[in-house]
Structure 1
Amino acid sequence: MNVKKDLLNALAEAEGDYISGAALAERIGVSRNAVWKAVKSLQAEGYSIDSVTAKGYRLASDNNRLSAEVISAGITAKTLGGKIIVLDEVDSTNNYAKKLASQGALHGTTVIADRQTGGKGRLGRTFSSPPETGLYMSVIVRPECDAETAAMITTAAAVAAAESVELLCGHRTDIKWVNDLYINGRKICGILTEASMSMETMSMDYAVIGIGINVRSVKDIFDAELLKRASSIEDETGVIPDRNRLCAGIVNRLERVLGELESREFLAEYRRREILTGHTVTATVGNEVITAEAIGIDDNANLIVRTSDGTERHLGSGEANLCRISE
């Protein structure tokens, strides 16, 4: 019996409601004194637990401790999130998840860390990942689809993450093609998908979807140069979402959008949130820098641009290394 683990499960499932010490003791099968000791131990570990006489205990709304038990309690997905791994620190959740995937980890296994020492962005860039501030998570998926369809996983993940952030903070969350989330014109999230192909079948063996979201204020953490490009949910909205709830919400929505890869249904929501369309953009395509008007997203999630001579080009995420709105 693990009293602390069982207690966390019970408090998480209560979704912010109080549970009396007696009810907890009966549920877990221990004394009320054992419940009290477990609460004190969890509080010492950093969990924020409210205690009110005649009401009992609840996880406080400002709880900032990541917990596999709390995350699992919020997951309703059937195929994702069956195994949740929470780490205090790791070089990169994507690296950790790729190692697990290569060893046969099941579809839906999810790795979350409080801090990354080597967080990764696209094209070898770094993703600053300070402790107790962001949500850094990687989900292992084994999609049964062709390579062209699988290439849209990042696009689908952006929709899942944007919907989840917006639900919890109450502020519109936009997508900058292809993999960044913005609030008030400031970047708060990046997504990096890494895949392994089977040379025998020429199909995808697995993909690891890495999502990094700045949740709490980064004003006193990021340097001045980084703050020109990046912000956080709290800094942009004043709202501090529970990282556990945010993680569970993303897993739940990710299952839905991955189920829409073949039908492309999720693209309607992606297009509604995408912010380059309608602007003149500068894109680096190989060794070429082009300036063109972004006019939409095609059915393969490529960015459609029109150059000054009227030529339309469809830019793939693997082709356009950098794309930004021209000043």
Structure 2
Amino acid sequence: MSTKNHLLTILEQQKGQTISGQELADRISVSRTSIWKAVSTLRKEGYLIEATTNKGYCLPVESDLLSSEAIRPLLAAELKNQPFYLFKAIESTNQKAKKIAIEFPSKPGVILSEEQLKGKGRLGRFFYSPAKTGIYMSLILKPNLTTTDATLVTTAAAVAVCLTIEKLTDKKPKIKWVNDIYLDDYKIAGILTEAVTNFENGTIDTIILGIGLNFRTPIEGFPVELESIAGSLLSEHTGKLTRNEFIAELITQFYQIYQTIGKRDFLKDYKERCFVFGKIIHFKQGKQEFDAIPIDIDQQGGLIVRMQDGQHQTLSYGEITIQRPFH
């Protein structure tokens, strides 16, 4: 580990505490000059490290730059050793994840970016991804799953996002089938899952799981076209909960579900949080449009709806629009 990364790990683990330059030098086994140079480099990267004469260095509690050094210590041993790839700004974490998966075909990984320039949503939509206020993350998964079970990854991720929010805050998120997370009638997160298939044997080589979450409301607010539909997990710009803590818990929650995804136990949690049941929805199939009422989720995460003629139909994919207010 480099001096810079070792220093950052210590400061992250003792966030809010002032540590002398000599103590840091002794713990890392380098000179105090090396510590000073590492601090200077970290400051250039955006870390607001405070220095107090004759006392030492401190990373403020409110510091919230994405940092693998802050995330890894919060993960179980089997999760912390996977590669982390952090970026200041990239077009899309899913796009970057695909490239990394090709370069390192046997490895899982976590891709994080402070900002997405061309964030991807479902159906090719743009996902607004301003700097330093959201969580833009893609997991590279190397599944040992049947194709049938692999289709449940999006559903599992939606549950993981909700469980993370519920554990770390007092908020009660809801799920709009199939992949949107809502809080107080506003969308705060979306999930985009993409697969790389081996055409020779029909198996799935890699799954790219993209999660975008509005962690804090941008200081400038949302664009006019999103004001009525987009929300954030937290409205305040300071607070004890950091993005790094949230990411670590989200990775933990997801892998707990993912390891036993074939049992489908998590579908109970999904149903409990899905708010579309009993509401009138609108959807398209080909060139035809229909209204229906959702009544259940099947074992593949499909939405079972009652059509206007009383017949039941299962939607396996697609977009639904709720025709009346959420309340």
TM over 0.5: yes
In 1, the alpha carbon distance for the partners of 2:207 and 2:135 equals: 19
- State the one-letter code of the partner of 1:137: M
RMSD across aligned positions (CA): 2.5
In 1, the alpha carbon distance for the partners of 2:88 and 2:187 equals: 25
In 2, the alpha carbon distance for the partners of 1:197 and 1:124 equals: 20
2:39 match: secondary structure: helix
Aligned to 1:94: 94
The change in CA–CA distance for 1:103 and 1:31 in structure 2 (over 3 A counts) is closer
In 2, the alpha carbon distance for the partners of 1:200 and 1:66 equals: 39
Deviates more, 1:47-56 or 1:137-146: 47-56
Q: Within the alignment, does 1:115 sit opposite 2:115 as a pair?
A: yes
In 2, the alpha carbon distance for the partners of 1:167 and 1:159 equals: 12
In 2, the alpha carbon distance for the partners of 1:7 and 1:156 equals: 36
Q: Is the 8 A contact 1:282 1:326 kept in 2?
A: no
Displacement of 1:23 after TM fit? Answer: 3.7
Aligned to 1:20: 19
- State the one-letter code of the partner of 2:247: C
Aligned to 2:207: 207
Deviates more, 1:215-224 or 1:3-12: 215-224
- State the one-letter code of the partner of 1:176: K
Aligned to 2:183: 183
CA shift digits 1:164-191 (9 cap, x unpaired) = 2333333112211111111111101111
Please list every run of 5 or more consecutive structure 1 residues that lacks an aligned counterpart in the other structure.
Answer: none
In 1, the alpha carbon distance for the partners of 2:303 and 2:48 equals: 44
Aligned to 1:322: 320
Q: Is the 8 A contact 1:75 1:81 kept in 2?
A: no
Deviates more, 1:121-130 or 1:39-48: 39-48
CA shift digits 1:77-125 (9 cap, x unpaired) = 6157610000111111101101111233444311111111111000111
Deviates more, 1:141-150 or 1:217-226: 217-226
- State the one-letter code of the partner of 2:118: G
Displacement of 1:236 after TM fit? Answer: 8.7
CA shift digits 1:112-169 (9 cap, x unpaired) = 1111111100011111111112111111101111111100111111111222233333
The change in CA–CA distance for 1:43 and 1:237 in structure 2 (over 3 A counts) is closer
Displacement of 1:265 after TM fit? Answer: 1.3
- State the one-letter code of the partner of 1:38: A
Displacement of 1:39 after TM fit? Answer: 3.5
In 2, the alpha carbon distance for the partners of 1:232 and 1:205 equals: 34
- State the one-letter code of the partner of 1:158: A
Displacement of 1:225 after TM fit? Answer: 1.3
In 2, the alpha carbon distance for the partners of 1:96 and 1:307 equals: 41
In 2, the alpha carbon distance for the partners of 1:151 and 1:88 equals: 31
In 2, the alpha carbon distance for the partners of 1:237 and 1:257 equals: 31
Q: Is the 8 A contact 2:120 2:126 kept in 1?
A: yes
In 1, the alpha carbon distance for the partners of 2:224 and 2:282 equals: 24
In 1, the alpha carbon distance for the partners of 2:148 and 2:39 equals: 50
CA shift digits 1:206-241 (9 cap, x unpaired) = 110001111121362422111221111123999674
The change in CA–CA distance for 1:138 and 1:293 in structure 2 (over 3 A counts) is same
The change in CA–CA distance for 1:236 and 1:278 in structure 2 (over 3 A counts) is farther
CA shift digits 1:225-258 (9 cap, x unpaired) = 1122111112399967412222222211221111
- State the one-letter code of the partner of 2:227: L
2:112 match: secondary structure: strand
The change in CA–CA distance for 1:261 and 1:222 in structure 2 (over 3 A counts) is same
Aligned residue pairs: how many?
A: 324
Displacement of 1:71 after TM fit? Answer: 2.2
Aligned to 1:277: 277
Q: Is the 8 A contact 1:97 1:208 kept in 2?
A: yes
Instruction: Write the mapping of 1:1-327 to structure 2, written as runs, cut at 5 A.
Output: 2-14=2-14, 16=15, 18=17, 20-21=19-20, 22-32=22-32, 34-36=34-36, 38-49=38-49, 57-76=57-76, 78-79=78-79, 82-218=82-218, 220-235=220-235, 241-317=241-317, 320-327=318-325
Deviates more, 1:248-257 or 1:103-112: 103-112
The change in CA–CA distance for 1:271 and 1:229 in structure 2 (over 3 A counts) is same
Deviates more, 1:272-281 or 1:128-137: 272-281
In 1, the alpha carbon distance for the partners of 2:215 and 2:241 equals: 7
Percent of paired sites with the same residue: 35
TM-score, normalised relative to structure 1: 0.89
The change in CA–CA distance for 1:81 and 1:192 in structure 2 (over 3 A counts) is farther
CA shift digits 1:290-319 (9 cap, x unpaired) = 2222112111111111123321111112xx
2:26 match: secondary structure: helix
